Structure 1
Amino acid sequence: MIWFRPAIRFSPFAVVLALAACSPGAEEATPTLTPSPAEAPATAAPPGPDAETVGGDGSAIDLQALTAEDLSAETLPGELACSFSGADDQLLLLARGDVASGEPAVGVVKVSGYVERIAAPGGYDAMLDGANFAGRGKTVLVEVTGPAQGGGESPPRPGALTYQRADGASRLFQGLWTCGP
């Protein structure tokens, strides 16, 4: 009769925990496990209308309202626009694109006092139900979260804007996504 023993594998984490449990003072120290921002579920929304910055180097993501002066200094190509307005109807993102176009939609956000360009593939049509914009050191995700509010040609829809920085920091903003002329 042949006996064989299945290989037992231990993860490095399990070995460290086992060694820590055997070391002096182990009763006093209990390991605390917290997921990194990359492991946290993307759909989990923190309490409140807008979340604070999570992860990264610890500095806050300060997304500010775009002013008429900011917009007049930018030339955004495209026939039609989409915008995201946050609390108090502050314009946080404006993007323009052409209908039925393979050219990207181009937009702007204002972060810590600086107007920064972002772009999303697919032109205007690809922005209607939300979009994934990218720019230097950032990704801005817009998700439509509910049905249109009101009537007319371009009724706003509830949405969520997630600003993600290259260092892993992110911040969620609740508001309205509006697309049209």
Structure 2
Amino acid sequence: MPFPKRGATLTDTLSASLLAITLITGCSDPSSDAEAPEAQPPSTSPSAEAPNDSGEQESATASGQTRGGDGSEITLNALTEADMREASLSGELGCQFTTDDGEVLLIAMGKVASSDAAQGVVKVAGYVERVSAPGGFDGITASPTFSGKGKTVHIEVTGEPTEGGESPPRPATLTYDRADGAQRDWQGEWRCGP
């Protein structure tokens, strides 16, 4: 603290001293400026965010989760016996997609050796809706794509039959594509025959 000049009051001296201390402290403390950037990198560092981003991306693209679109969930309900009966699908032979949990999500019927579209139904958020695929029954046995209002349903057969017989089930994935770009997968089996 400097000595008071002759004629200066104690208040003048204290004010000058406090001003000098404030200026010295504000200008000479490099840690106050250095701490802010050091505190930020853990939360903004790309390497620190990578695990969180990849974790979110994995959960968003995991099977069974809706991806893309407007963010609303795609819901397919199991078709009941009454739903299937009321669908009144015409054709000689049919196919159905059954989930690993035993729920039937899609049924379709078609005529053998016909170019007429095979007709099917799915139950979207509680409503039974029609879909169709080209090529009659023969067109839906392998890995068909069904179209309907605002939707496409693709069945991808992913393996060999899991049992014998005339209508053996084959492992498959059902992919539902909504018109807004949303998509969701279900794992199960595709069975075609009488």
Whether these two folds match at TM > 0.5 is: yes
Q: Using structure 1 for the length normalisation, give the TM-score.
A: 0.73
Task: Considering fraction of residues, name the structure with more helix.
Answer: 2
| Unaligned stretches of 5+ residues in structure 2 | 1-40, 54-60
Q: Which residue of 157, 162, 170 corresponds with 2:183?
A: 170
Q: Determine whether 1:74 maps to 2:92.
A: no
**Residue 153 in 1 paired to residue 166 in 2?**
yes
1:20-59 matches, cutoff 5 A: 46-47=61-62, 50-59=63-72
Counterparts of 1:59-138 in structure 2, within 5 Å, are 59-138=72-151
Corresponding residue SS for 1:88: coil
Gaps spanning 5+ residues in structure 1: where? 1-26, 35-45
Q: Kindly provide the amino acid, as one letter, of the partner of residue 69 in structure 1.
A: A
Structure 1, residues 84-143: CA drift from partner, whole Å, max 9, x if none? 001311000000000000000000000100000000000000111120000000000001
SS of the residue corresponding to residue 83 of structure 2 reads helix
Q: Distance in 2 between matches of 1:66 and 1:103?
A: 24
Determine helix, strand or coil for the equivalent of 2:101: helix
Q: Secondary structure at the match of 2:144?
A: strand
Separation in 2, partners of 1:161, 1:103 = 23
**Equivalent position amino acid for 1:179 in 2:** C
Which amino acid is 1:154 matched to? S
State TM-score, norm by structure 2. Answer: 0.69
- Larger Rg computed on CA atoms: 2
One-letter amino acid of the structure 1 residue matched with residue 193 of structure 2: G
CA distance in structure 2 between the partners assigned to 1:76 and 1:105 by the alignment:
9
1:7 corresponding residue in structure 2: none
Backbone CA RMSD of aligned residues: 1.9
1:168 Cα shift? 0.4
Match of 1:179 in 2: 192
Aligned positions, number: 141
Residue aligned with 2:74, SS: coil
What percentage of aligned pairs have identical amino acids?
54
In structure 1, C-alpha distance between the alignment counterparts of 2:128 and 2:98, rounded to whole Å: 16
